[in-house]
Structure formats: structure tokens, C-alpha cells
Amino acid sequence: MSDSNLIPVTLIPGDGIGPEIVGSTLEILETIKAPFKWDKQLAGMAAVDVSGDPLPQQTIDSIHKTGLALKGPLTTPVGKGFRSINVTLRKEFGLYANVRPTRTLIPGGRFENIDIVLVRENLEGFYAAMEHYIPVDDDPKAIATCTGYTSRKECRRIVKYAFDYAVQHNRKKVTLVHKANILKELCGLFLEEGRKVAKEYEGKIACEERIVDACAMELVLKPETYDVIVTTNLFGDILSDLTSGLIGGLGMAPGANIGEKAAMFEAVHGSAPDIAGKNIANPLAVLHAAASMLEYVDRTDLSKRIEAAIKKVVVHDNIRTKDLGGNASTSDFTAALKQAIA
């Protein structure tokens, strides 16, 4: 393929296990001749080491140019004075929807037939909160307060995104997850807008409502009854880790951040410093993220090849990394995936 037909993508290898699992993913993308042209940039500790800034302007400029990024996990620098990298990226590029699919891969586990897509609002709620202490008597931290917000516009946009996703991916049902019985305004507005949007899809996509605590219980008791879930920022953060736990943990969970100015694909897990450099990390979360990126650029043919190769290697050939109960190294696992996909 000529260079001019390739799609430019900002590539952030990340910290800890990031370079190992992103490297593995690149090898597989190369094997299938994925139509990407990489612009490699730094963020996280790798960037701090070079420039003192965990999110250099050059990296931001690159994403503005490409509109697309594949990102390895970043270590959050400890100490004051650093901006939160993920929150800065979400704001800068208006990444309003965080899409986290969870699908059973290995049969015979604790849960079977799970196929849930969780859509999390990414810009508001308690993540956009103002926090402060109120002193009482001689205790400067006697009371802590937190003021989060939701806007009608974002509530509508995120629920509409979930329903459109359901239509495009032949899904049957969207569940609105909230806590409007207690947070009557913060979550009430989400539910009010959610119900209005659901009406527009009547006859096409079914709509259910769940209070978040009941949803957490049902996700453990009968996860196979859930299809697409849409919820606010903090609830989505918690429930998406729960759903990834249902299918074998964070090593399998990809996430897509979709926005107005860019889309960013990544693993849900962090930089796993405890296993970095040991050639034992599971690359599947980043590889699934790369498969979603292929879908995003209308190359579903290639994303299907990746998903089929993963199934063959992990399920039929029983080659797995340690976190999935196997003993394959990252490089052996990658070699098996490359052989399966070639």
C-alpha cells in the first residue's frame, strides 16, 4: 500500500509493560498489513524523563493532527504539580464517550455468554468536581465537600451515542444505569434525558433502567442478561472494572475514548510496574483496542481476523499468558498470534 493511503495514527507506547504489549500489537498489525502510519510520541513517565512534562505539547499537537491515537498505559507521576494525563486528554479532545466491551473468551470460567458493552460518560460527574475542606474549630479538614455536575447536553449526547452504537452493532437493548432515587438532580437529569432519547428508538432498541447498586448485583448474578449499558462517569468507571473481572481480569479489557476532535484506543489496565520488563504481560487488551480502532476506520475485515486469531490461540490451542493461567511469555504468545493470523 502506498504511503499516501495509510491512515496517520499517534502511537504512545506508554510506561511499564506498555512498550512490551504495544510492541506485540504492532507486530500483529504489521502481519495483517493494517493501513496505519505511526507517529510515535511520548507521554507519562517516559515523557517526564525526557522533557519533565508527562504530556508534552508535541504529543497533543500530534493527536490534533492525526485525530487518532493508540495508547499504552501510562504511569501517573506521584507528587504535586503534574496535571492528570487522562483528564487532560479527555478535555483537550472532547473525548465524551468511553466504550468498554466485555466478551467471554475462555469457556468454562465462572461466567459464560457475557457480551456487554459499557458506555461511560467521560467528561462530567464527580470527575469534573470541585473539592474542598471546610474547617470547624481547630480542624482544617473537619468536613470535605465535592460538587460534581452533569449537563443536559452531555446526558443526551452520551445516551444517544449508546443507542446509535446499539443500532450499528445489532444490539437489542440499552440499560440506563443511575442513582436518581438519591442524587435526584445529578442523576435525575441523566435519567430524564435518557428516557427522552430512548423514545426516539422505540421499536428498534429496547430500554431498561437500573439503579446502580441493583445493577452491580445483577452483573454478578446474571451478567448474560445485559447488552449495552450507559451510565455516568464514576459509576461507569467502577462497573467497567467489575465487568472486566467477569471475563478474567484487566489484561483482557480494551477501551475506546471517542470524541469530537479525536478517538483514542487503549487498554483499561495500568502500566503494571510489578511485571514490567519480565516478558510475561498479556498484550490482549491493547490488541483488542487496536481491533476496535480498525473497526473505527471501517476495516472490520481486519478486526475480525484479529479476533479470530485470538480465539484460535487462546481457546483452541490453549496458549495463554500467566494471568490467564498459562505459561506463555509475551513474545511466545505474540509469535503464536502471528502464526494464527498470517
Query: Measured from the CB of residue 2, what is the shortest distance to ligand NAD in angstroms?
Result: 34
Nearer to ligand NAD, 16 or 223 (CB): 16
Query: Measured from the CB of residue 324, what is the shortest distance to ligand NAD in angstroms?
Result: 9
Choose, by CB under 6 A, the member of 42, 46, 70, 73 that binds ligand NAD. 73
Q: Report the C-alpha gap between 14 and 49 in whole angstroms.
A: 12
Choose, by CB under 6 A, the member of 123, 234, 281, 290 that binds ligand NAD. 281
Site size toward ligand NAD (CB under 6 A) is 21
Element of type H or E holding 285: helix 284-296
Distances (CA, A) of 98 to 107, 155, 161, 260, 261: 27, 13, 10, 13, 14
The residue whose grid cell reads 490482549 is 284
Nearer to ligand NAD, 17 or 229 (CB): 17
Query: Measured from the CB of residue 198, what is the shortest distance to ligand NAD in angstroms?
Result: 31
Residues 31-70 interacting with ligand NAD (rule: CB under 6 A)? none
Question: Does 121 contact ligand NAD by CB under 6 A?
Answer: no
Question: Does 79 contact ligand NAD by CB under 6 A?
Answer: no
One symbol per residue from 251 to 280: x for binding ligand NAD (CB under 6 A), - otherwise; what is it? x--------------x--xxxxxxx-----
Element of type H or E holding 257: strand 254-258
For residue 115, the number of C-alpha atoms closer than 13 Å in the C-beta half-sphere is 8
Nearer to ligand NAD, 62 or 75 (CB): 75
Residues 302-341 interacting with ligand NAD (rule: CB under 6 A)? 323
Query: Measured from the CB of residue 71, what is the shortest distance to ligand NAD in angstroms?
Result: 7
Burial of 54 (0-12, 13-18, 19+ CB in 10 A): buried
Can you tell me whether residue 179 is helix, strand or coil? coil
Q: Report the C-alpha gap between 89 and 92 in whole angstroms.
A: 5
Residues 10-29 interacting with ligand NAD (rule: CB under 6 A)? 17, 21
Which of 34, 12, 36, 37 lies closest to 23 in space, CA to CA? Answer: 12
Can you tell me whether residue 100 is helix, strand or coil? strand
Can you tell me whether residue 268 is helix, strand or coil? coil
Question: Does 76 contact ligand NAD by CB under 6 A?
Answer: yes
Residue numbers of the site for ligand NAD (CB under 6 A)?
17, 21, 73-76, 86, 250-251, 266, 269-275, 281-282, 285, 323
